[in-house]
Amino acid sequence: MPDLKTTPLTQWHRAQDAKMAPFAGWDMPIQYSSILSEHTHTRSQASVFDICHMGEFLISGTKARETLSQVVTHNLTTLAPGRCRYGFLLNPQGGIIDDLIVYCLADDEFLLVVNGARTEVDFAWIQDHLGAQASIADISEETAKIDLQGPQSFEVLNQALNADFTHLKYFGFTRHEFAGAPLLVSRTGYTGELGVELYLGPDNALALWDLLLADERVKPAGLGARDTLRLEMGLPLYGQDLDENHTPAEAGYEALLTSEADYIGKGKDRDVREKLVSVKTPGRMSPRHGDVIRYSGQDVGVITSGSFAPSLGCGIGLGYVRADKAEHNDPYSIDKKRSLLPLDQVPLPFYTQGTARMKLQSS
Amino acid sequence: MSHIPEELSYTKTHEWVRTNGGEVLVGITDFAQEQLGDLTFVELPEVGDVLDAGFEMGSVESVKAASELYSPVSGEVVAVNELLESEPGLVNEDPYGDGWMVRIKMSTEPEGLLSADDYQALTEA
């Protein structure tokens, strides 16, 4: 596949004989040893993930805050420098173009982190709709991203960088230095565990990766484990659980829609025709993407993400169900070839022992 | 390189077959378990089920995907590896031993099974 993009770590993955696959147009590691062991290691110790495929944009200008507020759902009026926030980019119908994190770097400067597969679409959309008083730059090429996730991640990071990051609160970030160049350390992640997302220049990515892995508590984890980890937390994946045909309210994010700005899609973003439900199976047989969800003899929805949950020992899934069939206590089911797979609706997260929000400093 | 024992027969759908008199022991190959990754669920036929060669007899699920199991021979299921219900990882750890799946009493002579060499050629294609 000649067109696949590579990260500064692709050669390292290949040298480790990782199982590679195309993801979002990139040649990415799916697993190094096994998804189950990488999953368990992340929940118990710490793992590094190559997440260089994500896109990063810089929005700056004296009116950056006001004009960006017209384009994304994030409530930026209450976002202070050093903090970041999750939200959406919507089309006029309230459908989700992408989900993204907005970092407030300074009062007039914001960093947007978007899904790799959506980078070009997002950039064109934001550029077209951003007011003249702010400018956007795509800095994806100049930005590498490594996630360090797991209950021991902060001990590892503090030791590796000879610094103390325990003051960072959940969804807080700080600017640091690595090898004489800027390093952004963000206490965020996609696993449900305590951890950081690290942004730096591509030239230093391998050195940081090697440094973190020099700690015996750290192992590399691929996108396979990243997917089971995020699904156990009920975190949606764009392209599966989020898309242009569904609103934030349908995906369960109505409470996030607090911005008073007149952003694109406002109002429509609360429309609900279907609801994203979270379901669990009684045994190891698991729901799969595309499985039809049935309720009292009717097809009522489709599984968008489904997998075995390594931390729970059963199958779990997310799926869109007709709104009038989304709120009840009776189980759904999937017709598997040789059996009927019952699905119990359960609250999120599926996995409740995650350390992501753990308090690091008494204050 | 996956392990392909010389003394076994194979199917194009990656099952292995160990013949012992009128019975065969069946599982999936090392190559198959490697491709699938960690198995999380194994669905086997029941003792007493009558199977036709080449037809689905069960399924295996890995973290990421599900795939079908096909019966390599025609006959009756005389035993299934019940341990796999709670420990599907045995298939990854020991595909030709503790990870065996079913024992079938053949009703006709097996047809069209592959030798180890032919199977190896298939996995390298």
For chain A, which residues make up each domain, given as ranges? 10-52+143-232, 55-140, 273-345
CA neighbor of B74 nearest in space, from B100, B112, B36: B112
B65 and A31 within 8 Å at the Cβ level: the answer is no
Nearest C-alpha of chain B: how many angstroms from A1?
18
Give the whole-angstrom CA distance, residue A317 versus residue A333: 12
Report strand pairing: A292-295 vs A298-309: antiparallel
B63 and A310 within 8 Å at the Cβ level: the answer is yes
Q: How many angstroms separate the Cα of B93 from the Cα of each of A115, A315, B28?
A: 36, 22, 12
What are the chain A neighbours of B63 within 8 Å (beta carbons)?
A: 35-36, 224, 228, 307-308, 310
What are the chain B neighbours of A335 within 8 Å (beta carbons)?
A: none
B61 and A339 within 8 Å at the Cβ level: the answer is no
Backbone angles phi, psi at B51, to 5 degrees: -115, 150
SS3 A238: strand
Nearest C-alpha of chain B: how many angstroms from A309?
8
| Residue carrying the six token digits 């690091």 | A360
CA neighbor of A58 nearest in space, from A147, A130, A146, A165: A130
CA neighbor of A9 nearest in space, from A56, A38, A57, A51: A51
Give the whole-angstrom CA distance, residue A290 versus residue A273: 19
What are the chain A neighbours of B61 within 8 Å (beta carbons)?
A: 284-286, 308
pLDDT digits (tens, 9 = 90+) for A42-101: 999 999 999 999 999 999 999 999 999 999 999 999 999 999 999 999 999 999 999 999
A286 and B61 within 8 Å at the Cβ level: the answer is yes
pLDDT, position A2? 58
The 8-class DSSP code of residue B103 comes to E
CATH 3.30.70.1400 fits A55-140, yes or no: yes
pLDDT digits (tens, 9 = 90+) for B68-109: 999 999 999 999 999 999 999 999 999 999 999 999 999 999
| CB nearest B41 (choices: A19, A37, A284) | A284
A283 and B41 within 8 Å at the Cβ level: the answer is yes
CB neighbour class for B13 (10 Å; exposed up to 12, middle 13-18, buried from 19): middle
Give the whole-angstrom CA distance, residue A271 versus residue A179: 49
Give the whole-angstrom CA distance, residue B77 versus residue B70: 13
* Helix (H), strand (E) at residue B119: helix B116-124
C-beta separation of A126 from A135 below 8 A: no
Concatenating the DSSP letter of every residue in A189-234 gives -SSSSSEEEEEE-GGGHHHHHHHHHTSTTEEE--HHHHHHHHHHTT
If you average pLDDT over every residue of chain A, what do you get?
A: 96
Give the whole-angstrom CA distance, residue A293 versus residue A299: 6
* CATH number given to B11-106: 2.40.50.100
pLDDT, position A32? 97
CB atoms within 10 A of CB A60: 16
Tens digit of each residue's pLDDT, chain A (363 residues)? 558 999 999 999 999 999 999 999 999 999 999 999 999 999 999 999 999 999 999 999 999 999 999 999 999 999 999 999 999 999 999 999 999 999 999 999 999 999 999 999 999 999 999 988 899 999 999 999 999 999 999 999 999 999 999 999 999 999 999 999 999 999 999 999 999 999 999 999 999 999 999 999 999 999 999 999 999 999 999 999 999 999 999 999 999 999 999 999 999 999 999 999 999 999 999 999 999 999 998 999 999 999 999 999 999 999 999 999 998 777 899 999 888 999 999 999 999 999 999 999 854
| CB nearest A228 (choices: B59, B63, B66) | B63
A337 and B65 within 8 Å at the Cβ level: the answer is no
- How many CB pairs lie under 8 A apart between chains A and B? 50
A34 and B41 within 8 Å at the Cβ level: the answer is no
Assigned architecture for domain A273-345: Beta Barrel (2.40)
Give the whole-angstrom CA distance, residue A258 versus residue A251: 16
Give the whole-angstrom CA distance, residue A123 versus residue A244: 16
Residues 6+ apart with CB under 8 A from A233: A191, A192, A348, A349, A350, A351, A354
pTM, rounded to two decimals? 0.95
CATH 3.30.1360.120 fits A10-52+143-232, yes or no: yes
Strands (E), chain B: 9-10, 15-20, 23-28, 39-43, 50-51, 56-62, 66-70, 75-80, 102-106
Give the whole-angstrom CA distance, residue A99 versus residue A91: 12
Residues 6+ apart with CB under 8 A from A213: A48, A219, A220
pLDDT, position A363? 47
pLDDT digits (tens, 9 = 90+) for B31-60: 999 999 999 999 999 999 999 999 999 999
- Domain ranges in chain B are 11-106
Give the whole-angstrom CA distance, residue A225 versus residue A231: 10
Q: Quick one: tokens of B42?
A: 């194994």
C-beta separation of B9 from B20 below 8 A: no
A34 and B92 within 8 Å at the Cβ level: the answer is yes
What's the complex ipTM?
0.88
In DSSP terms, A276 is beta-bridged to: A320
Q: How far is CA B106 from the centre of its chain?
A: 15
Nearest C-alpha of chain A: how many angstroms from B21?
31
